[in-house]
A and B are shown apart, each in its own frame.
With several copies, the nearest count.
Chain A
Amino acid sequence: MPKMNMIQAINSALDVMLDRDDTVVIFGEDVGYFGGVFRCTAGLQKKYGKTRVFDTPIAEGGILGAAIGMGVYGLRPVPEIQFADYIYPAFDQLVSEAARLRYRSGGEFSAPITVRAPCGGGIFGGQTHSQSPEGIFTHVSGLKTVMPSNPYDAKGLLIAAIEDDDPVMFFEPKRIYNGPFDGHHDRPLQPWSKFPQSEVPDGYYRIDLGKAAVARPGNEVTVLAYGTMVHVSVAAVEEAEIDGEVIDLRSLLPIDLDAIVESVKKTGRCVIVHEATRTGGFGAELSALVQEHCFHHLEAPIERVTGWDTPYPHAFEWHYFPGPERVTRALKKVMEG
Chain B
Amino acid sequence: MARKKPTSSADRPAPGPLRLHVPEPAARPGDDPDFSHVRVPAAGVSQRPPIDASEPELRAYAEGLVRVLGDDHRAVGDWDPQLDADTLRRGLRHMLLTRIFDDRMLRVQRQGKTSFYIKSTGEEAVSVAQAYALREDDMLFPSYRQQGLLVARGHSLVDMMCQIYNNTRDRLKGRQLPIMYSVREKHFFSISGNLGTQFPQAVGWAMASAMKGDTRIAASWVGEGTTAEADFHYALTFASVYQAPVILNVVNNQYAISSFQGFAGGEHATFAQRASGYGLPGIRVDGNDFLAVHAVTQWAAERARANHGPTLIELFTYRAAAHSTSDDPSAYRPEDEFARWPLGDPIERLKQHLIAIGEWSEARHEQLVKDLDDQVRADLKEAESYGTLSTPPASPSSMFEDVFKDMPEHLVRQRREMGY
Contacts and interface: CB of A to CB of B under 8 A. Distances in A.
Direct touch of chains A and B (CB < 8 A): yes
Interface of A: 25, 29-30, 32-34, 37, 50-52, 54-62, 65-75, 77, 85-86, 88-89, 92-93, 96-97, 101-110, 124-129, 141-142, 144, 165-166, 210, 253-255, 257, 278-279, 308-311, 313-316, 319-320
B311 interface: no
A316 B392 contact: yes
Contacts of B175: 103-104, 106, 127, 311, 313-315
Nearest to B211: A51
B226 A126 contact: no
Interface in B360-417: 389, 392-393, 396, 399-405, 408-411, 414
B410 A29 contact: no
Chain B CB within 10 Å, residue with most, of A86, A93, A210: A93
A68 B410 CA distance: 25
Q: Which interface residue of A34, A62, A74 has the most chain B CB atoms within 10 A? A: A62
B228 A69 contact: no
Contacts of A106: 171-173, 175, 182, 402
Interface in B172-226: 172-178, 180, 182-184, 189-190, 192-195, 197, 199-209, 211-212, 218, 225-226
Given A59-B228, A166-B404, A314 B115 contact: yes
A311 B392 CA distance: 17
A310 B408 CA distance: 12
B293 to A, nearest CB: 24
B46 interface: no
A50 B25 CA distance: 13
Contacts of B392: 315-316
A93 B204 contact: no
Given A34-B331, A59-B228, A102-B405, A66 B204 contact: yes
B396 A319 contact: yes
A316 B166 CA distance: 10
Nearest to A33: B332
Contacts of B96: none
A308 B403 CA distance: 11
B231 A61 contact: yes
28 contacts: A29-B256, A29-B259, A32-B22, A34-B259, A57-B264, A58-B195, A58-B263, A59-B230, A61-B230, A62-B234, A65-B234, A66-B201, A69-B218, A72-B189, A97-B192, A104-B182, A108-B184, A125-B177, A126-B176, A126-B193, A144-B404, A165-B405, A254-B410, A308-B414, A310-B400, A314-B115, A315-B392, A315-B393
B38 interface: no
B22 A65 contact: no
Contact of B206 (A69, A85, A97, A109): A69
Contact of A58 (B166, B193, B228): B228
B208 A101 contact: no
Contacts of B183: 108
Interface stretch (B117-125, B235-243, B314-322): B235-243
A128 B193 contact: yes
Contacts of B341: none
B41 to A, nearest CB: 28
B408 A89 contact: no
Contacts of B139: 72-73
B414 A103 contact: no
A257 B241 contact: no
A320 B234 CA distance: 34
A37 B257 contact: yes
Contact of A30 (B23, B194, B259, B414): B259
Contact of B409 (A127, A254, A278, A319): A254
Nearest to A144: B404
A69 B205 contact: yes
B203 A124 contact: no
B20 to A, nearest CB: 5
A75 B180 contact: no
Interface in B109-147: 115-116, 139, 141
Contacts of A101: 190
A33 B229 contact: no
Given A96-B197, A210-B408, A254-B409, A65 B403 contact: no
The 5 closest A-B pairs by CB, nearest first: A69-B204, A128-B193, A315-B174, A65-B200, A126-B177
Contacts of A103: 175, 402-403
Given A34-B257, A65-B235, A109-B182, A72 B174 contact: no
A61 B208 CA distance: 17
Contacts of B256: 29, 58
A126 B264 contact: no
Contacts of B389: 124, 315
Nearest to A124: B115
